[in-house]
Chains A and B, each alone.
Chain A
Amino acid sequence: MEISDRKFKVVVIGGSAGSFSIVSKILSQLNPGFPVPLVLCLHRLKHVRSGLVEGLNLKSKIPVMEPFDKEKLKPGVAMLAPSNYHLFVEFDSTISLSTEDVHNHSRPSIDYAYSSAAYAFREKTLGIILTGANKDGAKGLKDIGDKKGYTIVQDPATCDVETMPQAALKLFEPDEILTPDEIVKVLNSLVG
């Protein structure tokens, strides 16, 4: 089955060092009417609560917001994991937040966001891992793959810091290894 024929219930994008510009580029090139809820789990400073969502909204073609606990996922809306909270995707298409211990030195943890989406939506999950400086996200992305979801790793040659994609590639074989421009094309293929 072509990826454009798959009916995803959520797209989860994870990234760390260097990922802001890539995410910003992706959001700025999405086609209007992007039909799937998008979750962004990016490593960020714990004590800086504002600025990131505003920065992403500057160029984004879809609204970017920080969800409150128990808020529903919305098609065509990007939800950014708030600073100092883990974000989980639930069976009922809501977001839950948590202040549990850091995972891989991170809160939000990308592993947690991916794994929860995989558990909730199985093959209807699309996970994308971007540039980053630690291994958080690798195991969670593998969980998406294990549940027959679709997995994309940013081509390490295009990363500011390739540790995170390389950690994923060491763990499993993703469906695709793509440049940021190619990632945009895949996402836009989900429209219509």
Chain B
Amino acid sequence: MGVTLGINELKAVTSEMARYENMDYTGLSFSFLKRRLAYVFDKLKVRKLVAFSERLKNNDFRDDVKYYMAVKVTEMFRDPGFWRSVRHNLFPVLGKEFNVWFPDTSSGEELFSFLVLLKENELIDSVKIICQHPSEKLCNEVSEGLLEVKDEELNHSNYKRLEEHDRFETYFKEENGRLNFDKALLKNCHFRIGAPGVAQDDEVFDFIVFRNSGINYAYSRHEELFKNIVEHIRPGGFLAIGVKETIPENLSDFLIVVDKKESIFRKAGKKNE
């Protein structure tokens, strides 16, 4: 029988976790937290809250918690129409050289999809990418190009919906039950450990990909998170969120809709303003 958490216990657990670096989960919605912590407790065989608090003192355990708190992106090329829109609407505007931030790289699927798109548009050598997540283990896994084999068929079929040709298998090798993404395509990706959506003060990006992470947050943190993210978009740069997410109302004046269906927005202004 797993641990069932009520609201007061969730508050207590998240306060305890927030004492540690990059473990502030207090802004997540209660219903998400309830489900996710139950999942984490199950994965890490936590039977009692007291034991959880004790085990949090261990660095490796904390990294495991951060690893399992992440909701992995469901598949490569999720929403093929979104990737098509990036290729048609963003690449011609962004030019040859631009930088991209994945503020919550919860698994490889979204990043690898983007890298394939860059490769097929001959941008792979000139675009710089920063990938961020609180879990070191997760960053290492993604930087090694690892993916679960079970999703290969779905990933491949999404790719075929996006592209007229089929070169999907050239990007992967299967080894020991896992798929290894072509590491050469990761050469311009920099992985760093950090809380989702928190950039360095002076950083600005031409394109920020933050899809389906904001949905896990409660209203107040959701607004704060997006305010921070929008501040780090370069004038004239782009933001992508999940197709069923919305931008907090107080930020909508700062962003122009580029593709409503695929939830792509552009910050007003030009690159060097």
Tell me the A residues contacting B by CB distance below 8 Å. 46-47, 49, 66-71, 82, 84-85, 88, 90, 96-101, 107, 116, 119
Give Cα distance in the complex from A50 to B176, angstroms: 38
Give Cα distance in the complex from A84 to B74, angstroms: 9
Minimum CB–CB distance for A79 against chain B, Å: 12
Which of B80, B81, B157, B216 neighbours the largest number of chain A CB atoms within 10 Å of its CB?
Answer: B216
Give Cα distance in the complex from A70 to B246, angstroms: 8
User: Do A98 and B216 contact each other (CB < 8 Å), given the known contacts A49-B79, A90-B31?
Assistant: yes
Q: Which of chain B's residues has its CB closest to A81's CB?
A: B244
List residues of chain B with CB within 8 A of the CB of A85. Answer: 244
Q: Check if A96 sits within 8 Å of B32, measured CB to CB.
A: yes
User: Do A99 and B222 contact each other (CB < 8 Å), given the known contacts A47-B158, A68-B245, A90-B31?
Assistant: no
Q: Check if B215 sits within 8 Å of A98, measured CB to CB.
A: yes
Give Cα distance in the complex from A82 to B246, angstroms: 14
List residues of chain B with CB within 8 A of the CB of A67. Answer: 244
Q: How many A-B residue pairs lie within 8 Å, measured between CB atoms?
A: 59
Give Cα distance in the complex from A107 to B216, angstroms: 16
Listed by A's residue number, 28 A-B pairs whose Cβ atoms lie within 8 Å are A47-B157, A47-B158, A49-B243, A67-B244, A69-B214, A69-B242, A69-B244, A70-B246, A84-B74, A84-B78, A84-B79, A90-B31, A96-B31, A96-B32, A96-B215, A97-B244, A97-B245, A98-B71, A98-B215, A99-B74, A99-B212, A99-B215, A99-B242, A100-B35, A100-B36, A100-B71, A101-B72, A116-B31
Does B46 interact with chain A (Cβ within 8 Å)?
no
Minimum CB–CB distance for B263 against chain A, Å: 9
Q: Which of chain B's residues has its CB closest to A50's CB?
A: B261
Q: Please count how many residues in chain B sit with their CB below 8 Å of the partner chain's CB atoms.
A: 29
Q: Check if A99 sits within 8 Å of B71, measured CB to CB.
A: yes
Minimum CB–CB distance for A70 against chain B, Å: 7
Minimum CB–CB distance for A10 against chain B, Å: 15
Give Cα distance in the complex from A84 to B80, angstroms: 13
Interface residues of B in 236-250 (CB under 8 A from A): 242-246
- From B29, B36, B244, A82 is in contact (CB under 8 Å) with B244
Q: Which of chain A's residues has its CB closest to B213's CB?
A: A99
Interface readout for B216-254 with A: 1 if CB under 8 Å, 0 if not? 100100100000000000000000001111100000000
Interface readout for B148-187 with A: 1 if CB under 8 Å, 0 if not? 0000001001100100000000000000000000000000
Interface residues of B in 54-88 (CB under 8 A from A): 71-74, 78-81
List residues of chain B with CB within 8 A of the CB of A99. Answer: 71, 73-74, 212, 215, 242
